[in-house]
Amino acid sequence: MRNTIVLCMIAIVLMVGITDRAYGIDTAHDAAARASIERGVEFLRSTQNEDGSWTPQPGPAVTAMVVTVMIDSGLVTPDDPQVEKALKYILANVREDGGIHSGILANYNTAICLSTLDLVRDRPGMQETIKRAQDFLRGLQWDGQVDAQGNAVDETHPFFGGAGYGQHGRPDMSNTQIMLQGLYDSGLDCKDPAFIRAITFISRCQGIKSNAEFAGLIELDGGFIYSTSINKDLIGVPESKANPDLMDEAKVGQPVSGLRTYGSMTYAGFKSYLYAQLDRDDPRVTEALNWITHHYTLDANPGLPEPIRFHGLYYYYMTFARALDAFGQTTIQTHDGAQHDWANDLVDALSSRQRDDGSWVNEADRWMEGDPNLVTCYALLALEAAVE
């Protein structure tokens, strides 16, 4: 497993007692997960484009995810012809400044590609490519730049420490956790300033009393919202994708309070805290875990209102699995005292949703979850975390 070579992972193991995830899944569920993974990999083998890519519209990120799930499955070797072709496509997007993208979504693409390239880091020149990509991500992170209003982004600024798509002129939780995933996977020390800065931004998206800037605006339940700002013009006006009904009010300057926290961002924040090696008794960690124990479900993306509860469902599954894999406990005790083996539950949820051709797709087609290549990657990343 890649993360066992990361230096900060050693410290986390000693600190929190992370266990071998192989013991958290029973034999029947392990077999079911591996069967689903095999079918999913075979589906992806059938959808590669002639140029080596999968779903190239947003850039090389989806191609990189496919390579990751293939190699991590153990069913495909790094020298497989399809992998070689995909890596050639990914590396064709490496830029002089170290970024890995096709001209859009620089943080998103570079971070996801970085996780993938770490799997083949022993190839000639790859370690230098990885280092330059790490440095590129650090350079994108909000720290010292000037916002659209002409204000320097220092530690007091709502943007500080975050990363974004580049489309809205502000950082968000999703891009920030994706950035940390890439840096973590590629072996960056978890005490690096990039992690420390990111945790500042992530903490400001959490509904806890110590988050004085936005206390009273976010539900104070320990969960996370999407961003500290709606866009480059509405800086410091926080946004939750679980409150689309409040967006218009926020944009015209009306008071916005009670922004809902929700599952995909809460697990992303919780995972990021673990990667950054926060103490288990840190209030930010304990409050996030408290949210998880009160909203444990695999039926929907928890916290989203009924009409949109399936939005981002497979992204949720991926962050759920990665976060709880990093947490290290095989069971979650919910607020009602029940014990849930999260890996077995996840296998049940994903096995029942897999299509006959081996793919997954979300009928609630938001955030690209109508694309079977992307969604199949999300599902496989989740299953691979469950069976590690």
Q: What is the pLDDT of residues 161-189, one digit of tens each?
A: 999 998 789 999 999 999 999 999 999 99
268 pLDDT band, cuts 50/70/90, is very high
23 pLDDT band, cuts 50/70/90, is low
Q: How do residues 286-303 score in pLDDT, each as one tens digit?
A: 999 999 999 999 999 999
Q: Which residue has the higher pLDDT, 2 or 155?
A: 155
At residue 258, does pLDDT exceed 90? no
256 pLDDT band, cuts 50/70/90, is low
CA distance 353 to 376: 11
CA distance 130 to 115: 9
What would you measure as the largest C-alpha separation in the chain, in angstroms?
A: 58
Tokens for 379, please give them.
């599902």
247 pLDDT band, cuts 50/70/90, is low
Q: How far apart are the first and last CA of the chain?
A: 7
Q: How do residues 81-106 score in pLDDT, each as one tens digit?
A: 999 999 999 999 999 999 999 999 99
Tokens for 376, please give them.
């199949």
Tokens for 182, please give them.
């890439």
Tokens for 349, please give them.
């949820």
Q: Which CATH architecture has domain 2-387?
A: Alpha/alpha barrel (1.50)
Q: How do residues 111-135 score in pLDDT, each as one tens digit?
A: 999 999 999 999 999 999 999 999 9
Percent of the chain with pLDDT over 90: 83
Can you tell me the mean pLDDT for 51-57? 98
CA distance 274 to 260: 23
